Amino acid sequence: MDKNIDWTQHEQHIAELLQAVGEDPQRDGLLKTPQRFVKAFRFLNSGYEQDTDGILTQALFDVDYQDMVVVHDIEFYSLCEHHLLPFYGKAHVAYIPDKKVVGLSKIPRLVNAYARRLQVQERMTRQIAETLFRVLGAQGVGVVLEAFHFCMMMRGVEKQGSYTSTSCVQGCFQNPETRSEFLHLVHMRKG
């Protein structure tokens, strides 16, 4: 984010927005809402400040391991770029190393870096997969995201129980057997 931005100007815009919907931004409960909103919005979009390649390169290790590594149930929270409403869910990320493994905590950090941006689930899924595949030099990568979208739950069709699944596979995960093993491991975890 641009460090030279005058965020107080944006706080004023939020106060004007509150007034436009019929609220009094000077009443007790809303007095500091513009500042809190701007602070929260900056946090929810802090992924733009993350070096996604750097997250992974700081913890690459030479290991002779060439079987699937799967990290299940990585919680994420993001904002839909179409309505600025939240979507949230779980990511399941797998890769087959080629001489290098990455510290396991770096995979959730990568998911968070992409989630903390204005997003669509489809692009976020692809970004995670492509970054892992490229930076690790992995034989293959598979990513599945499952998410609930407030833009479908609170407005529009108002379907609270619907969730969306997306997947992206790279390299050897495009092989039907490898893809099937990955998806089996993801679904097996659900019971």
- pLDDT for 21-32, tens place per residue? 999 999 999 999
Within 8 A by CB and 6+ apart from 65, the residues are 97, 101
CA distances from residue 44 to 76, 80, 113, 114 in whole angstroms, order as listed:
11, 11, 10, 11
The string of pLDDT tens digits covering residues 170-182 is 999 999 999 999 9
Catalytic site residue from 16, 49, 75, 81: 81
The pLDDT-based confidence of 14 (bands split at 50, 70, 90) is: very high
Q: Where are the domains of the chain?
A: 7-44, 52-190
CA distance 78 to 15: 24
For 7-44, which CATH superfamily applies? GTP cyclohydrolase I, N-terminal domain (1.10.286.10)
Annotated catalytic residue 151: yes
The string of pLDDT tens digits covering residues 50-84 is 999 999 999 999 999 999 999 999 999 999 999 99
Contact 105, 147 (CB under 8 A): no
Annotated catalytic residue 184: no
Q: Note the pTM of the prediction, 2 decimals.
A: 0.93
CB atoms within 10 A of CB 129: 25
Annotated catalytic residue 121: yes
| Dihedral, 135, 106, 70, 86 alpha carbons, nearest 10 | -100
Structure tokens at 158: 């108002």
* CATH top class, domain 52-190: alpha beta
CATH topology match: 7-44 vs 52-190: no
The string of pLDDT tens digits covering residues 87-125 is 999 999 999 999 999 999 999 999 999 999 999 999 999
Of the candidates 133, 59, 131, the residue with the CA atom closest to the CA atom of residue 97: 133
Annotated catalytic residue 82: yes
Annotated catalytic residue 13: no
